[in-house]
Amino acid sequence: MFLLALTGLSAVAQKTGPAQTSKPVAWPDPLVLESGAPVLTRERFEQQRRGELLSLFAENVYGKTPQATVPIAIVAAKVDEHALDGLAVRKQITLAVGSKGERTWHLLLYTPAHATGPVSVIVGLNFNGNQTVDPDPEIELNPVWVRDPALASTPLAKELSGHVLKIAESGTRGAAAQQWQLHLLLARGYGLATLYAGDIEPDFIGGIGYGVRPLLFGPKQSVPAADDWGAIGAWAWGMSRVVDVLSSDPHIDAKRLIAFGFSRFGKTALWAAAQDQRFALVLSNESGQGGATLSHRQEGEPIDHMMLAFPYWFCGNYQHYLGRTQSLPVDGHLLLSLIAPRPLYVGSAGSDPYSDPEGEFLAVKAVAPVYALYGEQGVTDTAMPPLNHPVGQWVSYHVRPGGHDVTLYDWEQYLNFADRVLGNK
């Protein structure tokens, strides 16, 4: 395999920036086939390299998405055309998943009430239930997975702990409202479709038994194969099933759907959009290792940490690279390459060293040659931008002050970008 040698760039000037590296790093080249042949045209990228990259990520990181399908049916839909004091139309859609309706998903959809035509909708998964995205008292309190109270005094990360399923508490309404900025999205003409990730697969070790993956096991199968999809693969698949539902709604512009994700769901959004080109734009917020940043730098969160703490996110084959990061045949810039030629925005935070902001910026820069094949300009700035200084046109990047979060500033940049590239005025 040919390698692309690049050098770490200058640090963010402000003291809130992460520690930087200046050592040379070798990364797989997005425009060189596994055979060593160069990719010089968009046709060759589409016909050969895209398939190679999808296979490499499926085999080594996220696992293979099953080709089989399961039935998904709308079994209930509750509509309020005057939600949020007339600002929005709110739809709460209950989906039965599986041939016998074994799983139940709860899709929450808001669209601007005064839209004059089909609207662009942002699709993203939430961490702790639909009721957390806004204080709206009419959002249904559905079941969510919470840490087993019997383990409250046990010093375990919640993902390693046992969990119980219970109806969400009313006190959690709007708990993550800042991260979603629903009223801003609606005022700017965008809709929001969100689904509790725990409906697709609970986010803890052992969650697989309650999720969608066993519904797609082969005959007599009881555990995942080494290259079967992990939770990120299942969540990404779930985002595509949301697209299936939205595409039949005449109030939604199915050609302007936006994949959004923060943290582990930033990884999810990238993998969903890599496989499903119905997503017209991708917003990756601090997706870090296993997402937009560069594992071969070995900065920020080690992939070894993810393998040990969150093994269920990935396929079993990912464990082969425990302590062998440099042997991993893919990296974040190759994942971003799979978004081309669609517009892409990556957001970082200066005080979030685990997500490796500089690595995310370098990955964004590294996909410029891929976008150039399509006549689109990537980020060409040689130095990492200062805080609060977005760069790029069709591919964009910013790093802001603060830590691991989604803020009003992030959403303002994402919506300005979407306005420009999707023509949503």
Q: What is the pLDDT of residues 120-148, one digit of tens each?
A: 999 999 999 999 999 999 999 999 999 99
One-letter amino acid of 244: D
pLDDT confidence of residue 18: 35
Residue 298: burial class (beta carbons within 10 Å; 0-12, 13-18, 19+)? middle
Q: Which two tokens stand for residue 90?
A: 């709110």
Neighbour-count burial of 236, counting CB atoms closer than 10 A to its CB (0-12 exposed, 13-18 middle, 19+ buried): buried
**Active-site annotation holds for 263:** yes
Residue 291: what pLDDT? 98
SS3 content of the chain, % helix, strand, coil (to 5): 35, 25, 40
What distance in Å separates the CA atoms of residue 386 and residue 388, rounded to the nearest whole number?
A: 6
> What pLDDT does 419 receive?
98
Domains assigned to the chain: 45-422 (3.40.50.1820)
Handedness of CA 412, 416, 421, 425 (dihedral sign): positive
Spans of the chain below 50 pLDDT: 1-3, 5-25
Query: Residue 425: its pLDDT value, please?
Result: 58
Q: Dump pLDDT digits (tens) for 152-207.
A: 888 888 898 889 999 999 999 999 999 999 999 999 999 999 999 999 999 999 99
Q: How many Cα atoms occupy the beta-carbon half-sphere of 214 within 13 Å?
A: 13
Q: Residue 26's pLDDT is what?
A: 61
Q: Which of 161, 263, 351, 396 is catalytic?
A: 263
Measured distance CA(254)–CA(244) in Å, rounded: 9
Residues whose CB is less than 8 angstroms from the CB of residue 321 and which lie 6 or more positions away in sequence, other chains included: 60, 303, 307, 327, 328
Whether the ω angle into residue 341 lies within 30 degrees of 0, i.e. cis, is yes
